């Protein structure tokens, strides 16, 4: 299975929006590929409603959603129809019909202890097709879509500004929306940073410096 930093394997997939090439059809965009155990299941339904309601926020930051499970395309279509008819929520993103499990097996979404249902996996892929984040949840625990969106924004921000994001950025308890400067790679720079250590200054130590961006 691919790991963080690896390119997403090129795959031709059948979806509710027709045949697609991933990640090629998403070139230049961030891609959120997420799997769910099965159609017509309660937890998955709540997740799809949440993803749909957040879809415009993902699009605002240049990201596209695409779901996946080991179900046939007609099952996906019927489930999407059911959600719209009964929950008054339209699912705007495509869902991969991985009915033989090839994509799920390639990406490590099938865990032996869970049979042939996919776990709740999330892959964030950058505009070059590289995997930047992987999250796994068990079947019985639904995901936080807000966390997926937060992690995406953090990746985009740290890429652009060449910094690191602290826990729960931009709402860290003590750093708030400040970011972390990469640690120095030489002794001279480390000693220079020691001058900024102290109350009201930017550094807690030479290896732990922050800044407002």
Assess contact for 45 and 102: CB atoms under 8 A. no
What is the rounded distance in angstroms from the CA atom of residue 127 to the CA atom of residue 158?
Answer: 15
- Residues serving a catalytic function are 44
What is the rounded distance in angstroms from the CA atom of residue 57 to the CA atom of residue 54?
Answer: 5
Tokens for 187?
A: 């002794």
**Smallest Cα–Cα separation from 43: which of 149, 114, 133, 119?**
119
């Amino acid at each position: 299975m691919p790991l963080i930093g690896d390119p997403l394997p090129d795959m031709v997939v059948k979806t509710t929006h027709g045949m697609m090439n991933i990640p090629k059809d998403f070139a230049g965009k961030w891609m959120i590929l997420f799997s769910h155990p099965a159609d017509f299941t309660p937890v998955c339904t709540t997740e799809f409603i949440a993803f749909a309601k957040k879809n415009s926020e993902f699009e605002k930051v240049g990201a596209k959603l695409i779901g996946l499970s080991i179900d046939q395309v007609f099952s996906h279509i019927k489930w999407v129809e059911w959600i719209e008819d009964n929950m008054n929520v339209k699912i705007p993103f495509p869902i991969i019909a991985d009915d033989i499990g090839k994509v799920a097996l390639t990406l490590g979404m099938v865990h032996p202890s869970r049979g042939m249902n996919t776990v709740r996996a999330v892959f964030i892929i950058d505009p070059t097709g590289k995997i930047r984040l992987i999250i796994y949840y068990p079947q019985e625990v639904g995901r936080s879509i807000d966390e997926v969106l937060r992690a995406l924004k953090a990746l985009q921000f740290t890429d652009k500004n060449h910094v690191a994001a602290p826990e729960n950025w931009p709402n860290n308890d003590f750093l708030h929306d400040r970011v972390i400067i990469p640690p120095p790679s030489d002794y001279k720079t480390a000693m220079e940073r020691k001058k900024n250590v102290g109350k009201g200054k930017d550094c807690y130590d030479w290896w732990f410096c922050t800044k407002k961006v």
